[in-house]
Chain A
Amino acid sequence: AQTVTQSQPEMSVQEAETVTLSCTYDTSESDYYLFWYKQPPSRQMILVIRQEAYKQQNATENRFSVNFQKAAKSFSLKISDSQLGDAAMYFCAYRSVRAGGTSYGKLTFGQGTILTVHP
């Protein structure tokens, strides 16, 4: 079974600075997807960024980028030019590529990291 670990329960950053959230995972599969989700205090979980394991290039979405190290099974999220609206709980998640059987797109989540942004 796959596991996802976020070792930082809480992080903080000054507005306009850069912060990196860590995530490691364990899997025996060679192809999979990784995600970062954001859950603001209003509680609606939204997708921040995704990475396909077969792609060597790190995904980027505006101020959000990842550092995907497949051999090390590491998937960190970098937030540049942090804004007050970035304050949220961030979850790292894993999904198998296999669409059938008991996976059916099931996500395995890490424990979450609470990000505080100071003005």
Chain B
Amino acid sequence: DVKVTQSSRYLVKRTGEKVFLECVQDMDHENMFWYRQDPGLGLRLIYFSYDVKMKEKGDIPEGYSVSREKKERFSLILESASTNQTSMYLCAIGRYSYEQYFGPGTRLTVT
């Protein structure tokens, strides 16, 4: 079974804090993705990575950065959290095959 884990299911942070969301895979897939999910908007791509230390902006990268130092680990960083970053964050992995496999998600609340 494909396993994609995320560091936390629920997270509460204060405005201005630096927030790290971590995603770990056990499948040796090249591509890793960070999405945010909001009601009525579906999933929107924040950043993705196609190799170690390689990254590309997605559709909504503003306010976020990422890090991929090892193939199995992809981190999403909120440098200074804001209330409009309250959302569900989903990590996904994929190879040059069809589908992506998703982690369980992190519900982030910024107060």
Q: Is the CB of B56 within 8 A of A50?
A: no
Expressed in whole angstroms, the minimum distance between the Cβ of B39 and any Cβ of chain A is: 8
* Contact A33 to B48, CB < 8 A, known contacts A45-B90, A91-B43, A106-B33: no
Is B99 positioned at the interface, with any CB of A under 8 Å from its CB? yes
A-B contact count (CB 8 A): 54
B: number of interface residues (CB 8 Å): 25
Majority secondary structure of chain A interface residues (helix, strand, loop or mixed): loop
21 contacts between A and B (CB under 8 A): A6-B42, A35-B98, A42-B104, A43-B88, A44-B103, A44-B105, A46-B102, A50-B98, A50-B99, A104-B48, A104-B50, A106-B33, A106-B48, A106-B58, A107-B33, A107-B43, A107-B45, A107-B100, A109-B35, A109-B44, A111-B40
Contact surface of A with B, Cβ cutoff 8 Å: 4, 6, 9, 33, 35, 37, 42-47, 50, 91, 95, 99, 102, 104-107, 109-112
